[in-house]
Structure 1
């Protein structure tokens, strides 16, 4: 292209010479000029010309290229030529045909025209040429936006030749600014000049050049230097100096980053008769999106295969250096016997070694061919080529292996079968083994700094494809891993794609194995997508819909959730930062609403359910309890936090209103409580405020209690350091009241059961004693210790109330039995058969095996006797209350079980 530009300058000079010849022989101008130009070039002078003694005015003047196809190289319009006092040429317009210039025989053609510089300059008279409007036509083939901007600007040029010195001045302007200005001088075969160029308001370029021309101006100058300085905020190097100089077939190219005072290129080169050579050329490139600069050494040799410079044989060796916490790395890329043709390249290469950055290492072991033309250069990888990256972070160690066999990398990205094998562990997963396998089509993987994006339609195998049908990688995937937090295996499979600026998963089947955590047992979890998962990573947008199904969730105490189904909408920025929103159902339970946010390997959220029938929570009762929920409502809310380090943490509250529960030997009615709680370290904490629990009615066998209330505070499961405390326990029992002020589980000290105003007749009725009658009321204090090895009730005391006496009546059968024992027993039976007890005290002890010892002291009289003599009795009674309770409770339990079974049948 440089030689063609030199040709264009030469032929323009020849046009100037031809016009100047008017001063010598206007009538023979065409004949003489065409004879001088030879067979390749010719001139044509238009009609309507004016000739005078001082000059000439030409309507048009054309310089034509005769072969291979005739076309006009340069056309001048409204030309004025002066030769009297000075020789000058002025043209109102000059039109250059770019397509015609492309047909000028190149230096590589077998038949070429040589332009002798000395002869050319000697043939020129002193002259000046001015072109007010310079236009270039038929230049659509030029794809460079900068050149198109230049060609479409207002161009002008001025050329003068005086005292064997040639001066050129050219400008290009736009309405906003001066786009380009060139000043150049040719003297004694030395060309020097200065160029300024400002394509945008914030961009500046300044160049100085000087080189010595050969006698044949189409030959490369034997010596010269070129310096360029630019300021471009849109480039990686915003300020830089480029220097190129050569002499005696040796030179050096130097590029300096002015902003950071950093050398970028230092490339010495040597040009010999049959080869071009770069030896130990050094480069340093601080790529902004890499953790370290790209730096290395280049050795390159180009061998001539013929007398001309094309085709060429190429040998190359490139070493790339890197350094990281894992040490230093080096990749060597080398190849021999590559061939460079005029329009194509074919270079076999191999690359081996590693790159290290931070704690990560990338390994390269590939062989590939670089081939194609300037517009379609590709790298085709050969068999057994592979890339491997070992990526490390504080909580992760992953190896990614990418087979490269038959993969194509070109200007527009990667094509062919593209696979990836991922193995290792992250903060959430261990033993990861994931395989992606699919087809890529001009896939850039978001690396726009290396690849260009398709913006026009293209053709493949004779079929026209839209630009939108590029930059994608579609794959199937399958793999497995272990979820660290759950200690459970997971398998995944499905299909997805990475296209343009987003990644999507179109199908997903995931199976999570059984796991146990925080008192919860899950046999398995099956997950699938209900809608495509989209991740627009440039826009930081993530969307999708996921469904998880579980056969059953078991709780340690025996309850369970039946067939939970969880539907979750995903909306966020990235795979490590997104929101979740959805519903969970389990049998009749639900929907339970869920809102959560996943970020920094932590899931934080809230779930709640509106008030609904308590019957849907039936499965939360252990089956062996045989409890049935009859009525009531429940509502609640829970905040939770899940992370690999802390596990599951929860906190919230739920409330129960007017619940009724039936069980085989009893029932509960009017259950109400509001329970704020916190779940931490596999333990429920009720520590903020005591929980007030109330039950209107309790029946267990023959025991009936009403208006039960208690405050609960502490921990469950409980321990010595973290007890569960019950306080202010009280309920109505046997016409009186029973209360416990406070006791803790596990029990560390003795506590007291207080009985107040207990109706003895109701107690005997409950105990089904028919041979003893008691009326009146008593109080009792029963110290108890549930886990004491000596006594459960320890020295309890029963006393008569002060309000009224207690009446004792023995039944006829009991009296008859006592009298049959002898005279003493008969007298006793007669005395105590009916007594008013004015004093009653009893000491009570109950051992862990159920043996009750009752030592009583009574004082009273027989109201049926006239004298009403006082009677004092001391009486000790022992009986196993467990056996007694079983006998007493049998009938009631049978009745209650019958009612329970009838209810079961009605369901």
Structure 2
């Protein structure tokens, strides 16, 4: 007995010593044992365990592979009675799973889920903070437990994720609450439901129902997704919770080798046009590996618009999917109709390469085509995008790129533009794309035909326009017309899009064989050279010069900020004779001498068009007129041009000053002030004020001449010497001396009158002398008339009144009353003479001017 007791005592002592040894060395041998159960190359390690206050504490527990920590548990505390564990933090890095080595071991014995759950003892596990990378936004606390009420309960609580679920005694998984907030999408998803767990791990759940609620941001809509099944069939549906409309309905059927969705439906009414269609999908060999599965399906979309109904179909034939070397054919074909537009689609294509970075190749006959009315004024006759031979991948677009655009704009006209080029792995600021382009248009609004041709390239961040040749046969817009304007590149246009070395530069030349202003004014061949420099087409400066045969160069500076082109132009001082072509020939004006200087600022925007303003300065200018000569012309003309309307004068009127004008009568010290708009309107008339000049020993003035005229302009005559007048008129039968005053109401657009109710009166005594031979010839023919003419042969006039009217046909009517006496008669008899005279002043003027015009022609040409 004693011997047996000693043996038992030694056995117990040895066992205790062994247990103590194992406990002391547990951190060394336990990882070795665990390595046999962990997948390679993962290893377990933990710090020395400590017992404190009846709990087993381990500071750190980790599972690592190749210096990558898959699982890290910090401050773990375990109590046995009852079984309870608390972990301060759990960190999991899923990226470490890439180190997992493949294995050929298979376990053919399925696990009985019910037995596993029933075998779990009553326990409680609390993890205060679980952080799984890369989903750190969803970290939170975990509470996993088994109690008398339920075999297993699981709770997760975090800022963006909450889950409460359990497995009841009927082995049914019940999701009591699932709430997830997606920070990037600002979306909340709520889910609940129950699933009948299968008996074995290799079986699917027999029945179940899951409901999820979530909210769309744009458009704002609350949706419910429902996934339910019983045995081998079920339904997945999405419903609008407000309207109770079913947006998606997918009935599915499961067999041992096939998953099938047949007669699925979808609709979406939140777009500009209602969309709806059907879905069919079939997966054969679904229980095999992915590479052995066979996929096929079809989805279509129905649209309806002004041009009727349309249908587009995406079809995928029976295809196996290889993640590393895919070869999937599909075809998208049909029509989409929207408003008054139609889009024809025929895209047979193939997906190849790795599905993580696939390549889509468009096969023969691939074409996109659209046509219809874009707006009330714009019709898209056709746009064609042939895509055969083009491929799209993660690296970009490769292959031939073509486009044909034909549009008709109600105001501007018809355009036909073509683009043809080739791309090599081209994406935005990556790869290379070279292109050629050409086109033409008919523009009735400008009475012009337009054409364009050129080529360029886009390589990485560098865009180069190598050539550009575009222009019109003519342009006619408002008062401006141009003959054969053409824009060309004199130096390639280069745009470097890299912000670190942004650059935009090039040189352009615009030429026009003739620039016409109105019907007669023109400039001969015009050449504009422009040098562009800046950072981008939305930010550059322009420096150029404009010149013609004799004019210029006009230096131009400008700046484009993406919305407005602003600039200024300076016209250097030069002789006015260079601008002879700007003066209409029918005015009969020929520039003789003088100097001109001008400068202007301008602005061009799509909304406001061309706006300009500046001033002209003319000094000591002389010119030939159709009926005379002008000299000593000086003025400064501020002006503004907007929408083909000239505004003359700035804060004040334009002061026009002329030293002398010889036009039948000699006019000196001419002055006039001009202000207003041209062409003039009722609201913005052109006004000529403060008009005056000296002539015939007196002065002529006018208060206001307004275009369009609303009332007569009054021409006032003061101290006009009649002897000078009759000398110029070359009247030989009689002579008149003395001065007169008068007022002539003058009309520009009266349907009947040029002068109406004008008058002339003497200013002091007048003297009338009749030619002796003229009086003698009358006496010979008529003695009584000759006697009367004798009274008038020398007449001193004390009162004279002449009423003057001129019709718009030039018919002059004068009614004159003379009161005076003949001092050469022995008896001073008073004479009262009433005289009426009619004559066409236009014919009279032409006859009087013939001699002077001949003299001027000889002076100018000999």
CA deviations over 1:783-835 (Å, ceiling 9, x no partner): 88899999988998765531x45374969xx699979979989x999989994
* Cα distance, 1:48–1:179 mapped onto 2, change above 3 Å: farther
Structure 1: runs of 5 or more not aligned: 1-26, 28-46, 106-110, 137-145, 446-467, 903-907
The match for 1:708 is 670
* Cα distance, 1:507–1:64 mapped onto 2, change above 3 Å: farther
The match for 2:441 is 481
Secondary structure of 1:480's counterpart equals strand
The answer on 1:395 being equivalent to 2:364 is: no
Aligned-residue offset at 1:395 = 3.0
The match for 1:116 is 110
* Cα distance, 1:659–1:89 mapped onto 2, change above 3 Å: closer
The correspondence for 1:527, drawn from 487, 506, 509, is 487
The correspondence for 2:367, drawn from 370, 386, 393, is 386
Distance in 1 between the 2:817 and 2:850 partners?
28
Summarize the alignment of residues 95-494 of structure 1 with structure 2, pairs less than 5 Å apart: 95=64, 98-99=97-98, 101-105=100-104, 112-118=106-112, 148-149=133-134, 210=195, 212-213=197-198, 215=200, 217=201, 219=202, 221-223=204-206, 225=208, 227=210, 243-255=226-238, 265-283=248-266, 291=272, 295-304=276-285, 310-324=291-305, 326-341=307-322, 343-390=324-371, 392-398=374-380, 399-410=382-393, 414-426=397-409, 429-440=412-423, 469-470=430-431, 474-483=434-443, 485-494=445-454
The match for 1:631 is 594
* Cα distance, 1:886–1:367 mapped onto 2, change above 3 Å: closer
Secondary structure of 2:102's counterpart equals coil
Aligned-residue offset at 1:641 = 9.2
CA contact (8 A) 1:738 1:755 kept: yes
Secondary structure of 2:724's counterpart equals helix
Aligned-residue offset at 1:373 = 3.0
Distance in 1 between the 2:21 and 2:736 partners?
155
The match for 1:734 is 696
Distance in 2 between the 1:52 and 1:853 partners?
144
Distance in 1 between the 2:221 and 2:465 partners?
40
The correspondence for 1:514, drawn from 438, 460, 474, is 474
The answer on 1:837 being equivalent to 2:799 is: no
Secondary structure of 2:109's counterpart equals coil
CA contact (8 A) 1:609 1:637 kept: yes
Distance in 1 between the 2:143 and 2:32 partners?
18
Secondary structure of 2:31's counterpart equals strand
The answer on 1:559 being equivalent to 2:500 is: no
CA contact (8 A) 1:685 1:716 kept: yes
Q: Which shows bigger deviation, 549-558 or 704-713?
A: 704-713
The match for 1:58 is 29
Distance in 1 between the 2:413 and 2:573 partners?
41
CA contact (8 A) 1:488 1:513 kept: yes
Distance in 2 between the 1:792 and 1:99 partners?
103
Aligned-residue offset at 1:58 = 3.3
Aligned-residue offset at 1:527 = 2.7
The match for 1:662 is 623
Distance in 1 between the 2:733 and 2:414 partners?
77
Secondary structure of 1:61's counterpart equals helix
Distance in 1 between the 2:692 and 2:139 partners?
103
CA contact (8 A) 1:595 1:606 kept: yes
Aligned-residue offset at 1:735 = 0.8
Aligned-residue offset at 1:483 = 3.6
Q: Which shows bigger deviation, 649-658 or 815-824?
A: 815-824
CA deviations over 1:171-197 (Å, ceiling 9, x no partner): 899xxx798989876989877778887
Distance in 1 between the 2:750 and 2:308 partners?
68
Provide the aligned C-alpha RMSD in A.
6.6
CA contact (8 A) 1:333 1:349 kept: yes
The answer on 1:94 being equivalent to 2:51 is: no
Secondary structure of 2:420's counterpart equals strand
The match for 1:21 is none
Distance in 1 between the 2:611 and 2:357 partners?
60
The match for 1:18 is none
Distance in 2 between the 1:762 and 1:719 partners?
40
Q: Which shows bigger deviation, 728-737 or 56-65?
A: 56-65
CA contact (8 A) 1:593 1:607 kept: yes
Aligned-residue offset at 1:627 = 1.5
Distance in 2 between the 1:251 and 1:311 partners?
24
The match for 2:73 is none
Aligned-residue offset at 1:752 = 7.3
Q: Which shows bigger deviation, 551-560 or 493-502?
A: 493-502
Aligned-residue offset at 1:275 = 1.9
Secondary structure of 2:364's counterpart equals coil
Distance in 2 between the 1:901 and 1:439 partners?
66
The match for 2:582 is 620
Aligned-residue offset at 1:686 = 8.3
CA contact (8 A) 2:436 2:454 kept: yes
* Cα distance, 1:277–1:90 mapped onto 2, change above 3 Å: farther
Aligned-residue offset at 1:756 = 3.5
* Cα distance, 1:397–1:829 mapped onto 2, change above 3 Å: closer
Aligned-residue offset at 1:331 = 0.9
CA contact (8 A) 2:278 2:299 kept: yes
CA contact (8 A) 1:88 1:129 kept: no
* Cα distance, 1:182–1:413 mapped onto 2, change above 3 Å: farther
Distance in 1 between the 2:61 and 2:252 partners?
45
Secondary structure of 1:117's counterpart equals coil
CA contact (8 A) 1:49 1:58 kept: no
Distance in 1 between the 2:179 and 2:815 partners?
119
Aligned-residue offset at 1:238 = 9.7
CA contact (8 A) 1:128 1:159 kept: no
The answer on 1:806 being equivalent to 2:767 is: yes
